[in-house]
């Protein structure tokens, strides 16, 4: 809303007469930069224990990948910077005993990545997170990552998409 307001303040007269060069809008770049610096969208990684949420987080942060599974206790929030955009990456515990926290971690997310291993059982179980997202962050964007495709019994990507 702030971006729209600022843009219209700058360019309403130019837009009204319809005579403008696209380079005219370069004047708006400092405003966009300021908005991006303050935006920090929240991206939550959700999924059950052992599916690769922390590994995915470390890949995004360009850190060393763990070679053995160490369960995440509660959660971890990281600030990630890509170009001028900064965002908060929320990685949280997938063990059932922490399920009472899941809605709080998802609430207010701008994006949610559902991480699942590629077994039929985990893919079907992970549908639970779609309902949780609808309840806690109904306007968010969500994507599903089918991880561990190299393991025996892994479903092909096309099957994961269907489920």
pLDDT tens for each residue of 119-153? 999 999 999 999 999 999 999 999 999 999 998 88
In this model, does residue 32 exceed pLDDT 70? yes
- pLDDT at position 71: 65
- pLDDT at position 142: 93
3-state SS class at 110: coil
43 in Cβ contact with 105 (< 8 Å): no
- pLDDT at position 73: 66
Instruction: Report domain extents, the chain.
Output: 1-39, 40-162
Taking alpha carbons only, the member of 129, 41, 120 closest to residue 79 is 41
Mean pLDDT over 33-44 rounds to 80
3-state SS class at 150: coil
Q: Which CATH superfamily is domain 40-162 in?
A: P-loop containing nucleotide triphosphate hydrolases (3.40.50.300)
In this predicted model, what pLDDT tens digit does every residue of 105-114 receive, in sequence order? 899 899 999 9
Between 85 and 116, the higher pLDDT residue: 116
In this predicted model, what pLDDT tens digit does every residue of 68-93 receive, in sequence order? 776 676 678 888 887 777 888 888 88
**What DSSP string runs through 18-78?**
T---GGGGGGGHHHHHHHHHHH--EEEEE--TTSSHHHHHHHHTT-PPPSS--PPPSEEEE
User: For a pLDDT cut of 90, what percent of the chain falls above it?
Assistant: 33
Mean pLDDT over 1-8 rounds to 79
């Amino acid at each position: 809303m702030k971006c729209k307001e600022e843009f219209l303040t700058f360019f309403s007269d130019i837009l009204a007469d319809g005579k403008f060069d696209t380079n005219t809008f370069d004047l708006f770049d400092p405003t966009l930069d300021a908005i991006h610096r303050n935006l920090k969208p929240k991206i939550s990684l959700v999924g059950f224990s052992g599916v690769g949420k922390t590994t995915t987080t470390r890949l995004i942060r360009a850190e060393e990948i763990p070679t053995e599974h160490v369960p995440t206790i509660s959660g971890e929030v990281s600030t990630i910077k890509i170009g001028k955009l900064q965002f908060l990456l929320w990685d949280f515990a997938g063990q059932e005993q922490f399920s009472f926290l899941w809605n709080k971690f998802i609430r207010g997310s701008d994006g949610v990545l559902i991480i699942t291993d590629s077994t039929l059982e985990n893919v079907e179980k992970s549908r639970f997170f779609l309902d949780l997202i609808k309840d806690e962050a109904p306007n968010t964007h969500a994507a599903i990552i089918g991880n561990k495709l190299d393991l025996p019994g892994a479903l092909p990507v096309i099957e994961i998409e269907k489920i």
